[in-house]
Amino acid sequence: MTIIGTILSYFLLRSDRRAVNILFSIFSITAALWSLNLGLFLNARNLNNALSFANFYYIAAAAIPLVFFYFSLFFKRENYHFNKNLLWLLTPFFLIVYSILVDRNFIVEQIFQNGVEKDVILNFRNYFIYTIYFVSFVVLSYFGLLKSYNYAKDRTIRDQLRLVVFGTLIGFVLGMIFNLFLPAFGNYNLIWVGPLSIIIMVSSISYAIIRYKLFNLKVIATEVFVFFLWTFILIRTILSTTSQDQLANGILLLAVTIIGIFLIRSVIREVEQREKLERLTEELGKANDRLKGLDELKTEFLSLACHQFRSPLTAIKGYASLVLEGSYGKVNPSVKEAIDKIFQSSDNLVDVVQDFLDVSQIEQGRIKYEMEKVDMKLLVEEIIGELRPNISKAGLEIIIDAPRESYFVNADKGKLNQVVINLIDNAQKYTKEGSIKISIEKEDGKVVTRIIDTGVGINEDDIGKLFGKFTRTTNSKKTNVNGTGLGLYIVKKIVEAHKGRIWVESSGVGKGSTFFIELDQA
């Protein structure tokens, strides 16, 4: 028990020298000294020596509840500020120590050898005071631990507290029964049972070390291994029968000592780096959660702001259109030119606002899809019929290539219409001359639509990020300065919501592009 307590206290201090670990180390050492002196008392043949061991046994025992009380104040209370007024509680302990050292018979009046065992006569009055002192500090300790448990919100901390309370409480109960209460009634023959309670305490704390990582197991295991290796080689060196063996073992001990020190330091550095990485990961996770929250607030703000912008912009666009059409009378050509610019700018702003609204609705999951059976060919033909005048005005040819059959898919017609219009509109914006070709085919249970243009093309480095939010290629910025970089992001999200796939291929800058829409055939 003494060796276990001493080794445990050493590794606790090596692991972390916080106040709680220092106190628990002192607690382990006092428990070890208690066990040591009790063992010496039981095995002493000289009664005078037995009395000395008994006195040291009671001094060590008196320190156990006192140290445990201070330990309970710091355990799992990282922000605990020690009250210096509590130091006066040391007074009764020092009075007991002083009384025992001054009067050897303060607790134990007399010892008799009764065969193998020893009979002890106690000073009942002083022993009663000693018992009250011991029990009082034990009760105060568990009151502090239970208070910590009630304040703890984290489940892991509560589990740690339960384990420490359970393990030490059993040890204290057994120790007080066999080493405090029974001797008061004249039964001194079972005091050897008390120190066995340390096994329960050590086992519970060892389990806490492994289960809850109260201390670093990897560092402790390395230190234990190196320590036993050093001890083994040292014993071999001492027991060597020849000078050659002693020299060889001595050199080996020196080499292993140096290697062991470097090994321990290496493991400590590795553990510190890992713990630092874990802390950074945890902080990064919290920062990521905060960013998600801010992103949600940003999305809500955009949604609200865009709703507020859309109404006045629609009104500006509408009135500008009426003025241009002559609904308010004939307009001077120079004024008409200015009104046309207002109309074009407001029209662009309406598109931008609509893009932001679509993005906010997508990210908030508020877009509802009404699925129906849609013929992709008829949908494309309707869209081309609407867009052909503007495309022809731009000097481009638009071609549809699809065999005469149906190309049914399950889709929200309005949203799919938005996807195709966006892609054809993009093809028109980024194609100065040539043509736009839309082909539709059935491939392995899929309906694949291709929008092929002869425009500016796409750099290979830009293809992978083209469907990202607010992403625009270098060529697109030169060709169309008014884009938001949201159109393809919205298109991708709509196609994915249909459980489809969208991608782009291009042979390079100046060689045109091909956008693919792949949907399940209905």
Q: Which sequence spans correspond to the domains of the chain?
A: 2-78+85-215, 303-363, 372-520
* DSSP per-residue letters across 320-343: HHHHHHTTTS---HHHHHHHHHHH
Model confidence over 484-518: pLDDT tens digits?
A: 667 788 888 889 889 999 999 988 888 889 999 99
Residue with tokens 């201390």: 215
- 502 phi and psi angles, rounded to 5 deg: -135, 140
**pLDDT tens per residue, the chain (522 residues)?**
445 545 555 555 455 555 666 777 777 778 878 888 888 888 888 888 889 989 998 999 999 899 888 888 776 665 556 677 778 888 999 999 999 999 999 999 888 887 777 888 899 999 999 999 999 999 998 888 888 777 777 777 777 778 778 878 888 888 888 888 888 887 887 887 777 776 676 666 666 655 555 455 555 556 656 666 766 677 667 766 777 777 877 787 788 788 877 776 777 677 678 778 877 888 888 888 888 777 777 666 666 666 666 677 778 877 787 877 777 777 787 877 888 788 777 777 776 676 666 666 777 677 788 899 999 999 999 998 888 888 888 889 888 888 888 889 999 998 898 899 889 988 888 888 889 999 999 888 899 999 999 988 888 878 877 887 767 666 555 555 455 667 788 888 889 889 999 999 988 888 889 999 999 988
Three-state DSSP class for residue 50: helix
How far from 233 is each of 222, 223, 226, 263, 267, CA to CA, in Å? 17, 15, 11, 17, 22
How far from 422 is each of 65, 313, 394, 415, 488, CA to CA, in Å? 78, 21, 17, 11, 8
Model confidence over 367-413: pLDDT tens digits?
A: 788 899 999 999 999 998 888 888 888 889 888 888 888 889 999 99
* Angle of the 90-102 helix axis to the 47-74 helix axis, nearest 10: 170
The sign of the dihedral angle between the CA atoms of 273, 224, 174, 112 is negative
Strand partners, 437: 399, 452
Fold observed for domain 372-520: Heat Shock Protein 90 (3.30.565)
Contact 479, 457 (CB under 8 A): no
- Distance between CA atoms of 499 and 336, rounded to whole angstroms? 47
Query: What residues contact 74, with CB distance under 8 A and at least 6 apart?
Result: 18, 19, 20, 23, 80, 82
Query: What residues contact 196, with CB distance under 8 A and at least 6 apart?
Result: 1, 174
Can you read off the two tokens belonging to residue 47? 């009664």
Kindly report the CATH number that applies to the domain delimited by 2-78+85-215.
Answer: 1.20.1070.10
